[in-house]
A and B are shown apart, each in its own frame.
Chain A
Amino acid sequence: MNTFPRRTFLRGALRGAAVGVALPLLNCFLDSNGKAYAATGQRIPLRFGTWVWGCGFIPEKWIPATTGRDYVMPEHLAPLEPYRDQLALFSGFDVKLDGVANKPHITGCLGLRSGIPVPDENVKAPTLDVLIGDAIGNGSRFRSIEVSTSGIQRSYSYRTAGSPNPSEISPLALYQRIFGEGFQDPNSIAFKPDPKYMVHQSVLSAIGDDRQRLMRTVGAEDRHRLDEYFTSIRQLEQQLALQLQPPAPVEGFVMPAAPADVALDSEMDNVLVIHRLMAGLLAKALQCNQTRVFNVLFSDTTSNLRRRGTIDTHHTLTHEEPEDPTLGYQREVAWFAQQSMQAWREFLDELASIPEGDGTLLDNCMVLAHSDCSIAKAHAVEGIPTMVAGGGNRIRTGYHLAGSADPISRIGLTVQQAMGLQVERWGSLSMETNKSITELLV
């Protein structure tokens, strides 16, 4: 009887051991966690935030000519060069309108954040920051903190339609809210582990107990495969064990001083000062676990930013200013777009200035930065500029990815997945997607 495979004659050799699909991933997983524990012996949570600027960009000054890792940063991105490795750039992803009338500056911003294009301000909530906050924000004092730095009381974080989570607009008020009455020493808060993790862990442990029985029932090659399964179960147990330990003590936390009261004026230099102050306070709040989710509105989607000595706002300029015929774009508008990227750089500076574990706070934050449109003059919601920064080795960054008009909900979906949310499909109509951006995920 010949029961060898029909192709053996031709092949010359049988295959070796069974093929494990993702062993490299396994190693990588171990390394990353091993490193994270090594610094403190404790777990450091991954936080999430959004950083929004209004009125889009100048494509020729922002979109790199090539995709992948070795792209050249165009002029407007130049300030971000120090963060190249911690930054993923996304161009060419669209809010899909499905024939829905485009409500300028609203449909794009909320379409990106909710996965649903809306023709008016009746947001189809919740926005993705709220979904993430519900999953990771439980252990902290504030579910999320919203700030707006250009003097406008507005926010694009919605739990339910019609009631955005309000933004702080004054640095002093933000300070008082976080570090004023009710603030506790972050190192003295009692930790109570969630018993669910214990139950879950013991279920997995019982499965592991079955290992020997099963190993006896299968052949040699399948034993190898079963072994991989049981190793994976053990790792899952170890992850759960981590949840039962208290969070890392906040080393080196220094109580910030109350900021001076500053004038609320949308003039750019003033806004950059306010923004830097609020970014610093927010970073401190993240450091001592007051919140794990934040939303920063640098400038509103109909940006009221002004240049010193002029009275035209960024938004009105996008419609009023003629294109410079030699440049091929609007010169003044470009200045605002460039300054916005400078502000984004300064925001990252604040997060990166706080050491945490064996890295910085930025390594333990994933920040989604986006605008409300691509070319503001036309209110275009196709190709809205979007970036993801930080995340340490828990996400993959350091490249430019072109979306080829894919729905921008792919970014929102992947960001949720990267934050550990168990979601496989997100968005509605043409924006419904289950296509993760695998480049971002570890």
Chain B
Amino acid sequence: MRFKSIASGFTRFGWGLLPASCLLLSVGLGGCGDNQSGLSEPAPVGGPALMRRLTESQYRATINDVFGPGISIPARFERGLRVEGLLAIGTSESGMSAFSVEQYDAAALSIADTVLGAEHRDRFLNCATASEGAFDAQCTTQFVQQYGMQLWRRPLTDPEVSSLVNAAHQGFIQLGDYYEGLKYALVGLLVAPDFLLRIERTQAPPEGSGPGQLDAFSRAARLSFFLTNASPDKELLRAAAAGELDTPEGLASQVDRLIASSRFTRAVRAFFEDMLQFDLFADLAKDPVIYPAFNSTLAADAQEQTLRTITDLLIEQNGDYRDLFTTRNAHLTRALGIAYRVPVPTRKGWEVSEFSADSNRAGIQTHIAFLALHSHPGRSSPSLRGKAIREVFLCQEVPPPPPEVNFSVVQDPSDANLPTARDRLELHRTEPSCAGCHRIMDPPGLALENFDGLGTFRTVENGAAIDASGSLDGIDFTNTNGLAQALHDHRETPRCLVEKMYRFAVGRDTVWDERPYMDYLTETFAVHSYSVPQLMRAIALSKNFFAIAPPTGETSHNLAGLSPANGATR
């Protein structure tokens, strides 16, 4: 039974049925033993309670939500750690260096200066009695309790409150100014691990056995970061305290409220930025002679274009996720117009139009952000693009090349006998040690060869006409529009999104026993016409989302023996 459920759908490298050599990949579409369990949620599985570090965007969004817009956060955040394809999973594993803590500390001082400075403090302090010259214990306690709850995502214990009130008091004594002292209570809140780390806490399972549950405030935090990319707001904290998140109605009402809020867009953007690996733009370089139009403005606008296309289609229009691979909606700036070779009349900022039907710009996989990111500095790369299509959109993992491979042929575009990338890669596909993977990676990538290493359309390479025909798991096509349709129709396309979305939501990789739950979500996604907000709603309402598995200390050692000896897949 278990075996069948794994084999369902397209062969999934990540599920490890296939040796790393790739040679078995030609199996293609495997058996179709669909799980027919209908739309009732399988029993919750759950993972460990996690300790997740706030991402930069979560930190900024939370400060924005708690203290209002316009609070400057002058900090340099460390790069995130990408694990299993997602930064969200890395937040459960990355450490916290001295540099980071120094930055958090400086940001906390600056935020406290703004919040409690003479100009703004009345907005945050509800104490008519407070003045510079006297310490006001009651007002301080109230301040610490109110903002402590919002920043630590739970009520503070009495010792925690009195420690922070004491810090403010000591500050007053040393500095002679009530507000100056109070700043240090806020600094204490903002530098504490309880703010910077989402430390999940559990409660005993309802019936005393089976998977455990997150406590109410940890549930609120999971919901809130998943649906707004920030800490819970006051209303959600109230509902958590009142036990409303334990009832299906109470939970649904909060989930629907968050999805309807303008902050939901932030969460969808955070997910896709992570899934599309936009953090890699920080390292992206292009040869300025070959791609003169590439600069930091273009790089920033390209990412924003794809994100606008996504949120416009998925949220504003509540569209079908699969249409992201065929949409011709064009969100453009003038910098992008140069790379796309289209006019952009709007002089500053964004305009919305549509790429023409014959423009070869159907789908976000034909955007500059995808094409430029998955290319070399001086040329396109069918292999990198094909690999990204497999891994990013279809969750099919391609192993790295064998160590002894000779790349000199592919990397020498000057060979006049091999003018196009297709010609050069043909050598790889005839080399046995390379053929398996390149047969998987290259065909979808070759369909994007009409775009150069930046993403500008072209019809010739080194004087030879480009053949953009390719295939994707049994569907043949002759141009990029064909690839667009194939991605749209691929059965792994929605399933992959479901899996990544859930991993993003819970901050860990999925486990073996969560297969039926993935099937359930995938079917729910289909029933709702592949609406991403509906998928996120289904996740947020599911029991699996909050489930905590008992610790499995020994498991990993036991399992090591089951795996192939080489293990060389990274």
Contacts and interface: CB of A to CB of B under 8 A. Distances in A.
Q: Find out whether A and B make contact in their complex, taking CB atoms under 8 A apart as touching.
A: yes
A97 to B, nearest CB: 15
23 contacts: A4-B559, A5-B512, A6-B14, A9-B15, A9-B16, A18-B93, A21-B95, A21-B100, A22-B78, A25-B99, A26-B98, A204-B105, A206-B164, A206-B166, A206-B167, A224-B95, A232-B100, A232-B102, A233-B191, A236-B98, A239-B102, A417-B76, A422-B75
A352 B164 CA distance: 47
A422 B199 contact: no
A3 B555 CA distance: 8
B106 interface: yes
A291 B217 CA distance: 53
Given A200-B187, A232-B97, A236-B98, A404 B288 contact: yes
Nearest to A30: B98
Given A26-B99, A218-B199, 16 more contacts: A3-B552, A4-B555, A6-B509, A7-B84, A9-B563, A10-B14, A10-B15, A21-B79, A196-B180, A200-B109, A202-B167, A206-B167, A207-B192, A210-B192, A226-B197, A229-B96
B567 A10 contact: yes
A406 B296 contact: yes
B188 interface: yes
A204 to B, nearest CB: 7
Contacts of A239: 102
A6 to B, nearest CB: 6
A7 B509 contact: yes
A15 B560 CA distance: 11
A203 B184 contact: yes
Interface of A: 1-15, 18-23, 25-26, 29, 195-196, 198-200, 202-204, 206-207, 209-210, 214, 217-219, 221-222, 224-226, 228-233, 235-236, 239, 404-406, 417, 422-425, 430, 435-436
A4 B556 contact: yes
B108 to A, nearest CB: 9
Contact of A14 (B95, B163, B196, B556): B556
Nearest to B570: A11
Contacts of A210: 192-193
A424 B98 contact: no
A8 B562 contact: yes
B95 A23 contact: yes
Contacts of B76: 417, 424, 436
B81 interface: yes
A402 B510 CA distance: 44
A236 B16 contact: no
Contact of B74 (A9, A15, A29, A422): A422
A57 to B, nearest CB: 21
Residue from A8, A23, A221, A235 whose CB has the most chain B CB atoms within 10 Å = A8
B259 interface: no
Given A10-B563, A26-B98, A195-B174, A207 B193 contact: yes
Given A6-B512, A199-B174, A200-B184, A29 B192 contact: no
Interface string B289-314: 00000011100000000000000000
B460 interface: no
B349 interface: no
B345 interface: no
Given A18-B95, A22-B97, A424-B74, A206 B163 contact: yes
Contacts of A404: 288, 295
A13 to B, nearest CB: 6
A422 B107 contact: yes
B97 A10 contact: no
B201 interface: yes
B356 to A, nearest CB: 31
B436 interface: no
B20 A228 contact: no
Contact of A5 (B107, B196, B511, B569): B511
B512 A2 contact: yes
Contact of B47 (A3, A29, A236): A3
Contacts of A202: 167, 170
Residue from B50, B95, B102 whose CB has the most chain A CB atoms within 10 Å = B95
B513 A225 contact: no
A430 B45 CA distance: 51
Contacts of B48: 219
Contact of A236 (B74, B102, B510): B102
A13 B201 CA distance: 28
A422 B108 CA distance: 11
A10 B24 CA distance: 14
Given A19-B94, A422-B107, A217 B569 contact: no
Nearest to B172: A199
Contacts of B514: 6
Contacts of A5: 509-512
A419 to B, nearest CB: 13
Contacts of A425: 74
Nearest to B553: A220
Nearest to A233: B101
A30 B76 CA distance: 20
B188 A206 contact: yes
B1 interface: no
B40 interface: no
Residue from B46, B97, B297, B560 whose CB has the most chain A CB atoms within 10 Å = B97
B199 A228 contact: no
Contacts of B386: none
A233 B103 CA distance: 11
Interface string B167-210: 10011001100001100110110011100110101000000000
B509 A10 contact: no
A198 B81 contact: no
Nearest to B75: A424
Given A12-B560, A13-B567, A417-B76, A203 B187 contact: yes
Contact of A19 (B93, B552, B560): B93
A437 B191 CA distance: 26
B405 interface: no
Contacts of B51: 218, 222, 225-226
Nearest to B46: A3
A195 B296 CA distance: 43
Nearest to A22: B97
B94 A435 contact: no
Nearest to B210: A1
A199 B101 contact: no
B110 interface: yes
A210 B189 CA distance: 13
Given A10-B14, A406-B296, A424-B76, A232 B192 contact: no
A222 B94 CA distance: 10
B23 interface: no
B27 interface: no
Nearest to A226: B193
Contacts of B191: 203-204, 207, 233
B28 interface: no
Contacts of B193: 207, 210, 214, 226, 229-230
Contacts of B49: 218-219
A393 B47 CA distance: 45
A196 B14 contact: no
B551 interface: yes
B566 interface: yes
B565 interface: yes
A6 B559 contact: no
B296 A235 contact: no
A230 B188 CA distance: 14
A228 B513 contact: no
B564 interface: yes
Nearest to A224: B95
A430 B197 CA distance: 36
Interface string B77-89: 0110100100000
B284 interface: no
Contact of A26 (B97, B185, B192, B199): B97
Given A10-B567, A199-B174, A202-B170, A225 B288 contact: no
Contacts of A6: 14-16, 509-512, 514
